Structure 1
Amino acid sequence: MPNQDTQKGPFTYSPVINEDDDSSRDATKKNVYKQDRGRLSRLWTPFFLRRPVMLSFLLLFVAILCSLVALYTYTQREHRSLGIETDGSRYYYLWTYGPTAVFMILTAGWTQVEYRASQSMPWVLMLRGPTPASESIFLDYLSNWNVVSLYKSLRQGHYLVALCVTGSLLLNGLTVFSTGLFELDTVRVTQVADLTVTHKFDGAQFDPVVNDGKAYTACLGYTKNVIDPPIGLHDPYVYPPFRSAKYTAADNLTMIANAEYEAELEIFTPTIQCQEATTTIAPSHARFDPQDNSEVYEADGCRVAPTGIPLALLRGNKFGLDADVAGCQSQTLSNDGKHPPEVDWSVDWRLWVSIAQTMSHPSNNYSTYGWETHEVRGVMCKLHYNMSHAPVRIWREPGQSAILSAINASDLMGIEPIANVSDGKLLYATHQSIGAAIDYSSDTGSEYVFAASDSLEELWNSSAALAAAVEKSYSCIARQLAKDSLLVQEPHSVQGTERTTDQRLFVRELSFSLMVALLGLLIIVVCLLLVFFIPVAVCPRDTGCIGGLAMVFAQSPDFMSQFQGSALMTTTQMAGSPLGQAQYTSSVTNTGSYTIMSDGSSPNAKMAALAETTPHWWRPLSTSWSIWIPLVAAPLAVIIALEVVYHISTSSRGITLVEGKSSYIHYIWVYIPALIMFAIRCLFQTVEFGARVFQPYLLLRRGAVAADKTILENQLRKVAIYGVFDSLRKRQWALAAATIALLLAAITPIVVSGLYMVQASAPTSPRNLTRIDRWNLGDPNPGSAAGSKYYDELQPVDAKIPGMIMYLNLSYPQWTYKDLAFPQVQLADADGAQEQGYIDARLPALRGKLDCAEVKSPNCSYQDDYAPYILTCDDVECSGSVFTSVGRTNAVEYFSAGSVGSSNYDPGKNCPDNRLLFGKWFPGETPMQKLVISCDARIEEVDVDVRLQVPSFTLDPDFEPRVIEGSAREDIRTNRSSFPGFDSMKEFLFTPETYPDGQFPETNNQLIDVDVLMRAAIYGVDGVPAEELLDAAKLISRVNEVWGVIMAQLYNSGGRQPFDQPFNHSWSVLPLDDTVPTYSAVFYDGRKYLVQSEVSTRILDGLLATMVICGVVSIALLQTKEVLPKNPCSIGAVASLLHGSRLLGPDVIPKGAEWCSDDELKRRGIFQGQKFTMGWWTDRKIGGYNPVFYASNEGDLHPSGGIGSASRDDFSVSDIDRDDARVNERTGISLDVQSSLVPSDEEEIRKHTRFGIDIDLGDGRENLRLQNDGPIRRHA
């Protein structure tokens, strides 16, 4: 990695001193001096303490602060209702990991600022002037915890360090608080949206005569709460259905839950106002003779004498209710012999409703009018409609199928009425809809009007109650009629408003406040650094490595002389020696040399005495049990805790319920895990720091290592990711493991920021559902009594539910879905019935099926004597036939008819249950197309996965029931009489649209001979065009769909029996025993719980486990025993190890070399090809020759320069020398080696030994060998 710290900074402070030039330097040294002389006036500035770098930090912090404020302001707009749009939780890890990752990167960069400030502080103080040893050569901010460094620096007034350490602490705080910066919250979002209005009001094709019973049936279903009104209806309004442009349909099944849409629309408002009418009735024995009618009704200036047969709305045991439409001045619609289209619609048509006591007729029919004079009471009603514009808002609640709407009456603005639609037309069409349904509208024995809760007796006694009942009933039909007949499909786009429940990103207020405060303080810190301290230029070069200090020491011989005998002293001992009593100054001499000076004296006896003591070996804090045990135990404990909490999170109700609790509780699970990860990171930072500091000394202790791995190695200036690759490249395994562990530890706060989240419950608790009814489909035997089957004698509203579903596109009643009918169930635990949420369960369901096949050669005959012609298809063997009218018109038309397949119940005949004839008539030349299918009905039970809302137990419309493949079984006993025939489908579907006189409208000529079953197949929900149904496969499939819907509703309405009631075991009953079935289910309460992310859990498990492994490997490989006698993080500690070293000689470090960067040293060949070792050295003065010998780990002794002293007990003769018996007992030196140096009789040997760092010459000369007994061994 290129050394970014080699650039020279501006000269800050440099007292110049005189220094005599050494004229004895050789020419090479003079050349070096001359080349460097031009640069001696510039001091080196660490890269991270330069003004541009610090300005970059300032700009980054300001930008982050502005971004935070902008984000917070943006998310708080519109009363905190908009937030930041995000794709739900898709990018959850981006906005949880992202902010923490940013601050982790900034923290890594600022760590270098803190390191350089701590390294430079003693140099800053010495450059200012004489400085005590405690604040100069023994000042150590590197090996302390930064909190300790902050306290120490503030106490001593070292504000450069204090500010930089404060910056680190602030960034660590920002990292922790950033883990809770964002939250995902559910809000109502309002925005402009493109909406599609699917219909518009248009009366051009409105025909008041052509009506069927759909409108009446729909209102009957609304009143009985069997079905919910569809989109487009809101009592008392009708509006065009609309939807978001993003969806393709506007109905209950496709509108998403929790979404609101609002658009300005046309609104149709029918109003029926009724008032009491006076009634005069003369005796009459010819009630229905128009010439002898004497009943007269009067109200509101209108007078009418009905001449026709009124419409019987209801017949009770005591009272009857009739209705008729007539003009205000007795104009009638029925007695002029005209077809309805010729009616004068400008007449003021009124609705007349009468109620009277009934009298028994011999045929048991009831009539309002009789042969005796009796009292009749009545009301007169007038219909009027208004058109207006107003905003319409629609939405659907979660778990509900009904679409709700809201229209504010005060917002209505009147517009022109619909062309071709008068009040009279609408009144007649409304009345006609009831007439079209007259065959099933009367409810024999009923005491209630379909749209009123008042009994007939109350209606008799109160004209106001009668008026209210009629108004409510007819206005409902008028609204439904307007929706069906006046809304014409014509999709068009409008601008509207969309309000959706969305998950949006917000900035948490507490995190924002804390981070803004910390960023503000951080910006102040940077500004203070820029104004008062930056740039920091106090050294000639980087002094973070041994070689860098050696460059300065080489120019400071007087300073170095003070360290005689201090190599094995601890820092505390050195501080208590004369070294600690002196003051120190750094400066640039008048010759350009950078030197350190001291006012201390030369070494004295006290220093020598201290040097003779036994050394105390220093080891990094990371090797102590107080660090080693937590280093392993803490991550493992966190892994165990993560797994335990994750197990709880995935089980019942998450970790804890947070819904309804204070929002500040969130910070507990956000900040505490981040703080724990921060504490663990501090442990691994201790290990990594120890490894970085120790690594070059460990290599020196092993011996003979190049400069780039030892004295020029500055591990502390390397960022972690580069340090990993560099240490792996250099095969420094202990350091690589420690750096990897720290790098992973730096990632843990990022990962832990996404560890916990709040979300709706996962499966919260198992529950049991008990069944409360059984299926009882009645007596399956042929010829059974009337009313003994489930489809006999149904209430009118129940019988018509299939038609409501097929034609009105309404939601399915409770306990049914499409062709499925489910048993009614309840929670076995009574207490659970009050809970809110939903249940997932697997329930059995009944499903009606048809096994159909095409009759390939039907026996059909055609009677063409007169139109309409008759087409008959017979089955002689089964005594069954199906026939239909055909050729009613001279145009192409479709025809169909269904029939019971056979009257022959002989099982051996294998006769079908039903037949269906469908075809197409081509008048003239083209022959007709016809298709006959035979079908056998059956009932099967299937298992279905469902989701039920609690406590209503309605099927969740957002979760479609899923039939389990292969679960079908036929456990219920049936035969052909167990099913209604195809020819009885008119009981459950609507009759075809006709005129009162039986004529068919021109627009429906093609379908005039199509029966109700096939009309439902063609025009019902999901209908298939008639032309496509001429294909046998499509016909069979579509008929099966319609049949399934019909049968599911018949099972639901007529096939249930409570479990506590007795039953006939020979009937079609399921289950056939009295044991109440129980079904397993899972309950979700839908509330918000705290859950633990599986992804973050697994990542953290892997990171922490790897960190433990790397930490153990680092500690195991980092050999620290008897390597260093002191902490080497101070200037004085390194100087004591270099005292007396040949390394400081001018032949190794030339004058001016202290200004050279590492690259320049390499370019000039300084330290090139040399090896360096830290070990034991000895000095012998033999005549005029004064070599110094050191003992490496291999036992080779090499000469060097310098002096030193140590105890002889610290040394021993190597194993090689021990093989030679000729050893000087006093000196411990081989006599052979001794004699090879000088003659023994002429030498005066005085032994001096020391411990330190020196050059390993390795030149092959025969040298004295001494060996350290320590544990260090050389590794490859």
Structure 2
Amino acid sequence: MTKRTTCRHGHHFLVSLPEAWFSLQSLYLLRPWEIALHVSQKNDGLANVSSNEHQHYLWTILPSLVMASVGLLFGRMNFNTRSLAPYAQLKRRTGALFKESMTMDYLDSLTTTNIIRSIRARHFAVLATTLAALVSSFLLIVASGLYSAIEVPHQISMNFTPETTFYRGNSADSNQISGMVVAKEILQKNLTFPRWTYDELAFPELSMDMPSNETENLYVDIRMPALRAAPACYFQTGSQLQWNFTKVNHGNELVYQLSVLAPSMPCSLTDQDMGSTSLTSSPVLLKSQGPFGQSRILPCSNNFSANTATLYIWGNIENDSAEKISAMTCIEAAETVDTPTRFQLTGFDITDDHPPIPDDSSARSAPNFGVPWISWNNLHVTGDIAKNSNLDGFFTALVMGKYAIPAENLLNPNSSDMVIKAINRQDRILRAQVFSDYSRSAANGTLGHTHLPGNITMPNRLRLSQDAVSTRVLEALLASNLILGIVGSILMNTDHVLPKNPFSIAAVASLLADSNILARYETVMGDPNEQSLGHAFFSRCRFFLGFKEDMSDQADPWQISEDSGCQKYCIYLSERGGETIWGNAWV
């Protein structure tokens, strides 16, 4: 009996991990990222993070490590496919020609070269895995920008308690002077508005139940009542106005004297028993010709505690006569208006970036509040104007202050609306400072348990956010890898191509030692490494990889018996009389 040697399968040289199964596992990476994106968009981020820059590297490194691992595994799949592609050609029933297998090598070429060569050779498994590896190289780039820390404001509802209120003060109280000094600095030197005031509004002081060290860099939005002046004015000009203009001696100099007959107006807009204002005011003394502007007080005739009225007179003196004279009489009053306001904590400061905007529809009269009398001489602007100027402190601020209008408007009757608007605004700004400094008092429980709801905002809160664009790109890349990996695995199952390590010299030598290739190759003349000889000598041969009978003792080594057993796993060729065999049958 002839002794036969049986060659059994050993362990695969690669980890036995079906590539199609691994490609399907990448599908599970899509779901957590999609869920995380939904949570991030719904909650304005995944979680709060600190401003520590070292921690910021975590959400850059971790996704990158995951994608780098995915890229390495797809690279392993591609390497397996490229290294085993020549052997896979030999396992076909028809075998492979010399140029299709024995001279083919996808391991020593660039990616683009392998793509072109695989297309030409119709090795679509190599094409699919090479494209998958190429796509995987972009996963790391996209993953590095997947997460970032963004500032997302966060609001906390809280109740605020008014600590002060406004009351009817004593008109003789001299504390109003300090408010006038502050108003002067605001109008003439661009001083910012003091705390609890802004523009024409005066706010009650507030307190909250939160430690001050926890409110730094926060701001609160609150709708609260603010006090502002609300004068009722009556404008006269031309024939509507009665006046008397003369020259008189005042001390040692000759001056112009102007007297205006003011309209009779009620001292109170809500209480008719307060009487009416005086019809005449103290005469206006003007030192020179040119534009002038003066303000005078019109006291109430029968009630000292009633609100006073203010008479504003402006016009021009030319050629010793008064021309274009206008006058406006205003009954002073106050009103409360609800105002959405933003305070910067911890000091409850109001910034110009978010000025309070009163809700005029909520304005309501403050009948029990007494508007203090103001002497415009307290503005102390005599050093800022010419010695012989005909403008008093109020009108000097009107044409030279922060909200100044051109002085020519005082001479032009067509600009009366602009002058009236400027007078009203400046009057409200001045009185807001007087209200805050002169009419403010501690609440002392008079407001009961009144609370004002507000929302504290943390503008610098950092949230870990997942970028939607990066997520979609990453999902597209992973889906592409999934499809390419499955296609490559279906076209070539690398676990069943070769049971030996193709990178081991001994393993490759064993595939050739038991074959008939070496015996045939001994007849080749010249350099055995010359590939042109191989092409010429083996051009009509087909090469196979599989089990072949040991025929070393046979007279004709090229003859294959159909009933011979397959005993040795090797690479062998077949050719006979110019005819190439098809499998184990001659064609």
What's the TM-score once normalised by structure 2's chain length? 0.68
Map of 2:344 onto structure 1: 948
Map of 1:1052 onto structure 2: 436
Structure 2 residue 426 is matched with structure 1 residue 1042: yes
2:395 to 1006, 1014, 1022: 1014
Structure 2 residue 116 is matched with structure 1 residue 742: no
Structure 2 residue 486 is matched with structure 1 residue 1123: no
AA partner of residue 1079 (structure 1): G
Structure 2 residue 223 is matched with structure 1 residue 844: yes
Map of 1:1061 onto structure 2: 445
Structure 2 residue 275 is matched with structure 1 residue 895: no
5 Å matches for 1:232-243?
A: none
Q: Could you report, residue by residue, the CA deviation over 1:62-90 in whole angstroms, capped at 9, with x for unpaired residues? A: xxxxxxxxxxxxxxxxxxxxxxxxxxxxx
Map of 2:323 onto structure 1: 928
State the Cα distance separating 1:944 from its structure 2 match: 3.1
Q: Could you report, residue by residue, the CA deviation over 1:872-916 in whole angstroms, capped at 9, with x for unpaired residues? A: 3644788767887476324x33334366699899xxxxxx97664
5 Å matches for 1:676-755?
A: 678-695=68-85, 697-698=87-88, 701=91, 714-718=105-109, 732=125, 734-736=128-130, 738-747=132-141, 750-751=144-145, 755=147
Identity score, percent: 16
AA partner of residue 655 (structure 1): V
State the Cα distance separating 1:1261 from its structure 2 match: 7.5
Map of 2:450 onto structure 1: 1075
Whole-Å separation in 2 of the counterparts to 1:1262 and 1:711: 17
Q: What secondary structure sits across from 2:422 in the alignment?
A: helix
Q: Could you report, residue by residue, the CA deviation over 1:218-263 in whole angstroms, capped at 9, with x for unpaired residues? A: xxxxxxxxxxxxxxxxxxxxxxxxxxxxxxxxxxxxxxxxxxxxxx
Whole-Å separation in 1 of the counterparts to 2:408 and 2:540: 99
Map of 2:199 onto structure 1: 818
Map of 1:870 onto structure 2: 258
Is the 1:854–1:933 contact (alpha carbons within 8 Å) kept by the matching residues of 2? Answer: yes
Whole-Å separation in 1 of the counterparts to 2:508 and 2:233: 100
C-alpha spacing 1:667/1:737, structure 2 compared with 1 (3 Å) = closer
5 Å matches for 1:399-418?
A: none
Is the 1:635–1:680 contact (alpha carbons within 8 Å) kept by the matching residues of 2? Answer: no
AA partner of residue 990 (structure 1): L
Map of 1:513 onto structure 2: none
State the Cα distance separating 1:1250 from its structure 2 match: 7.8
C-alpha spacing 1:1017/1:810, structure 2 compared with 1 (3 Å) = same
Structure 2 residue 353 is matched with structure 1 residue 960: yes
Map of 1:800 onto structure 2: 181
Is the 2:61–2:144 contact (alpha carbons within 8 Å) kept by the matching residues of 1? Answer: no
C-alpha spacing 1:948/1:1098, structure 2 compared with 1 (3 Å) = same
Q: Could you report, residue by residue, the CA deviation over 1:82-130 in whole angstroms, capped at 9, with x for unpaired residues? A: xxxxxxxxxxxxxxxxxxxxxxxxxxxxxxxxxxxxxxxxxxxxxxxxx
C-alpha spacing 1:792/1:1256, structure 2 compared with 1 (3 Å) = farther
C-alpha spacing 1:856/1:721, structure 2 compared with 1 (3 Å) = farther
C-alpha spacing 1:645/1:1076, structure 2 compared with 1 (3 Å) = closer
Structure 2 residue 487 is matched with structure 1 residue 1113: no
Map of 1:990 onto structure 2: 379
Map of 1:1092 onto structure 2: 464
C-alpha spacing 1:1057/1:728, structure 2 compared with 1 (3 Å) = farther
Map of 1:1032 onto structure 2: 416
Is the 2:46–2:465 contact (alpha carbons within 8 Å) kept by the matching residues of 1? Answer: no
Whole-Å separation in 1 of the counterparts to 2:338 and 2:79: 68
What's the TM-score once normalised by structure 1's chain length? 0.35
AA partner of residue 973 (structure 1): S
Structure 1 portions without partners, runs of 5+: 1-604, 779-785, 906-911, 995-999, 1064-1072, 1187-1201, 1206-1225, 1229-1245, 1268-1276
5 Å matches for 1:88-127?
A: none
C-alpha spacing 1:728/1:1046, structure 2 compared with 1 (3 Å) = farther
Whole-Å separation in 2 of the counterparts to 1:930 and 1:1009: 14
Structure 2 portions without partners, runs of 5+: 248-254, 267-276
C-alpha spacing 1:693/1:1262, structure 2 compared with 1 (3 Å) = closer
1:772 to 140, 155, 162: 162
Q: Could you report, residue by residue, the CA deviation over 1:356-397 in whole angstroms, capped at 9, with x for unpaired residues? A: xxxxxxxxxxxxxxxxxxxxxxxxxxxxxxxxxxxxxxxxxx
Q: What secondary structure sits across from 1:837 in the alignment?
A: coil
Is the 1:704–1:1171 contact (alpha carbons within 8 Å) kept by the matching residues of 2? Answer: no
Whole-Å separation in 2 of the counterparts to 1:1153 and 1:1017: 108
Whole-Å separation in 1 of the counterparts to 2:334 and 2:64: 64
Q: Could you report, residue by residue, the CA deviation over 1:827-848 in whole angstroms, capped at 9, with x for unpaired residues? A: 234xx33435132221235263
State the Cα distance separating 1:868 from its structure 2 match: 0.3
Map of 1:939 onto structure 2: 335
Whole-Å separation in 2 of the counterparts to 1:823 and 1:860: 41
Whole-Å separation in 1 of the counterparts to 2:134 and 2:562: 48
C-alpha spacing 1:1123/1:763, structure 2 compared with 1 (3 Å) = same
Whole-Å separation in 2 of the counterparts to 1:938 and 1:884: 28
Whole-Å separation in 1 of the counterparts to 2:403 and 2:78: 70
Is the 1:768–1:1079 contact (alpha carbons within 8 Å) kept by the matching residues of 2? Answer: yes
State the Cα distance separating 1:977 from its structure 2 match: 7.8
Whole-Å separation in 2 of the counterparts to 1:1080 and 1:1046: 30
C-alpha spacing 1:889/1:1166, structure 2 compared with 1 (3 Å) = farther
Q: What secondary structure sits across from 1:1109 in the alignment?
A: helix
C-alpha spacing 1:1045/1:736, structure 2 compared with 1 (3 Å) = farther
Q: What secondary structure sits across from 1:689 in the alignment?
A: helix
AA partner of residue 949 (structure 1): L
State the Cα distance separating 1:1168 from its structure 2 match: 13
Is the 1:622–1:690 contact (alpha carbons within 8 Å) kept by the matching residues of 2? Answer: no
C-alpha spacing 1:1034/1:870, structure 2 compared with 1 (3 Å) = same
Is the 2:88–2:497 contact (alpha carbons within 8 Å) kept by the matching residues of 1? Answer: yes
State the Cα distance separating 1:1058 from its structure 2 match: 4.3
Whole-Å separation in 2 of the counterparts to 1:725 and 1:877: 99
State the Cα distance separating 1:696 from its structure 2 match: 5.1
Q: Could you report, residue by residue, the CA deviation over 1:125-178 in whole angstroms, capped at 9, with x for unpaired residues? A: xxxxxxxxxxxxxxxxxxxxxxxxxxxxxxxxxxxxxxxxxxxxxxxxxxxxxx
Is the 2:40–2:466 contact (alpha carbons within 8 Å) kept by the matching residues of 1? Answer: no
Structure 2 residue 234 is matched with structure 1 residue 860: no
5 Å matches for 1:256-295?
A: none
Q: What secondary structure sits across from 2:398 in the alignment?
A: helix
Whole-Å separation in 1 of the counterparts to 2:502 and 2:213: 72
2:212 to 833, 840, 865: 833
Map of 2:274 onto structure 1: none
Whole-Å separation in 2 of the counterparts to 1:698 and 1:934: 105
Whole-Å separation in 2 of the counterparts to 1:1261 and 1:843: 97
Whole-Å separation in 2 of the counterparts to 1:671 and 1:1011: 71
5 Å matches for 1:1196-1207?
A: none
Q: Could you report, residue by residue, the CA deviation over 1:724-755 in whole angstroms, capped at 9, with x for unpaired residues? A: 79878975563145314531344267547xx5
State the Cα distance separating 1:990 from its structure 2 match: 0.8
Is the 1:634–1:680 contact (alpha carbons within 8 Å) kept by the matching residues of 2? Answer: no
Higher RCO (CA 8 Å, separation ≥ 6 residues): 2
Structure 2 residue 362 is matched with structure 1 residue 970: yes
5 Å matches for 1:488-567?
A: none
Is the 2:257–2:286 contact (alpha carbons within 8 Å) kept by the matching residues of 1? Answer: yes
Q: What secondary structure sits across from 1:865 in the alignment?
A: strand
Whole-Å separation in 1 of the counterparts to 2:259 and 2:116: 92
RMSD of aligned Cα (Å) = 5.8
Map of 2:252 onto structure 1: none
AA partner of residue 734 (structure 1): A
How many positions carry a matched residue from both structures? 543
Q: Could you report, residue by residue, the CA deviation over 1:560-603 in whole angstroms, capped at 9, with x for unpaired residues? A: xxxxxxxxxxxxxxxxxxxxxxxxxxxxxxxxxxxxxxxxxxxx
Is the 1:623–1:1115 contact (alpha carbons within 8 Å) kept by the matching residues of 2? Answer: no
